[in-house]
Amino acid sequence: MMDKIYIFGAGKIAVSFLYEYSDEIKVEGFFDNDPDSCFPIKGVNRCSLLERDPNKKIVICTNVPNYLEIKNQLESLGCVEWQDYIYFRFYKKKLVALIGNCHVLTIKKMLRLNSDFNKHYGIYEMPPICDITEEKKADYERSIVNADVVIHQDIRRDNSLGVEFSEDYVRGRIKDECIYIKMINTYGLGRIYYPFFEDLNPRNRGWKSNPYGIFPIKDLRIEKYIKEKTALDEIIKKIDQFGKNDEIKKNKEILFEKYSKREKSCDIKAMDYIKQNYKEKLLFYDRAHPTNDVIAYMVGQILEILGLQCSAEDYSGVTPSSRFALPLYDDVKEALELKIEHDYLWDYGRERLVDEKLDLREYVREYIYYCGER
């Protein structure tokens, strides 16, 4: 029996969806916020949202930004997601709820590059947990309750963002048949490369278009020399001889032991890969954000658990989970015997003083300019 549905949208996505499910659906009509739009396939006529048959589901066939706008529009009319409407990515597919901090965005992009995954699964559009507002929590709750698969970072009950993001809470809300996949949370493990930084920089200044500012992470080396009013040329001479070898090595060993213990209860692990590769590959952009190499390793495990073909997708075009990378200082490279050639990544446009990638001198100069004493 064919499903009778409405389509919201009249572009390429709608046409592609209609062809994919042509043997399974009967389209009763389409909605579109552009009053001049026409559906490109004959026989599909424009309908009124207010006069639709409430027993027939609406499938939203647009890009993500438009989907989120239409979602709000439909809910203002009393529609409920999954009951009255659904995004085309989820139609007749298993729903995946991806819960974690900002690098789940990279995981989502990589999973969507896998054709087998796309045939069977759709990932719910949800921001990282640090960006879930009170208004978004109802969507978050519905995604957990309706999910067929939950991919969840290891988030403890006493986390700073709320108990509702913890493993205990999520496990208590999912369906009995839901597949629960627990991932290692690598937040903070990047301190192996960046031991003399702190996560919060009180002198970092943001603005409306970039509330995180340019230097959200405090560089303790430069801060020391700013306090001592050391000249730029002198800072450059001294900055790579800040840490002691034994101190840097001990920091790495403590972190490896801590995170190895934490991942024992996880389905998706990373520590073996990190221990084997941290000398040859840069595995963290900063103290919190793993590079795409680490994330790709985790994505491979997710696909394997789901019984999907793990082909060698090209992830080179996937946006990194961090907008810039911290400098990897020579004393750390020497202590950890690193063989990494590391460029500084930067993506702050016209707010920068220079346009090219930063070398060490330009990084220090800009840090002093933005965060130094005035």
Record the pTM: 0.85
pLDDT score of 97 more than 80: yes
pLDDT score of 354 more than 50: no
Give the residue from 235, 225, 193 showing the smallest Cα distance to 371.
225
Per-residue pLDDT averaged across 36-52, rounded?
Answer: 85
pLDDT score of 374 more than 60: no
Note the pLDDT of residue 344: 58
Please state which CATH number belongs to domain 93-183+290-303.
Answer: 3.40.50.12080
Six-digit token string for 362? 């330009």
> Given pLDDT bands bounded at 50, 70 and 90, which one contains residue 350?
very low
pLDDT score of 111 more than 50: yes
> Given pLDDT bands bounded at 50, 70 and 90, which one contains residue 348?
very low
Note the pLDDT of residue 357: 64
Per-residue pLDDT tens digits for 60-88: 999 988 998 999 999 999 998 888 999 99
Pairing verdict, β 94-99 and 121-123: parallel
Domain ranges of the chain: 1-91, 93-183+290-303, 189-286+322-371
Note the pLDDT of residue 346: 54
Per-residue pLDDT averaged across 102-117, rounded?
Answer: 92
Whether the CB-CB separation of 126 and 97 falls below 8 Å is answered with yes
Note the pLDDT of residue 7: 93
Give the residue from 306, 263, 264, 286 showing the smallest Cα distance to 346.
286
Per-residue pLDDT averaged across 171-192, rounded?
Answer: 95
Chain centroid, CA 157 distance in Å: 21
C-alpha 25/C-alpha 54 separation (Å) is: 17
Pairing verdict, β 149-153 and 25-31: unpaired
Considering only the top CATH level, what class is 1-91?
A: alpha beta
pLDDT score of 59 more than 80: yes
Note the pLDDT of residue 353: 45
344 vs 8, residue with greater confidence? 8
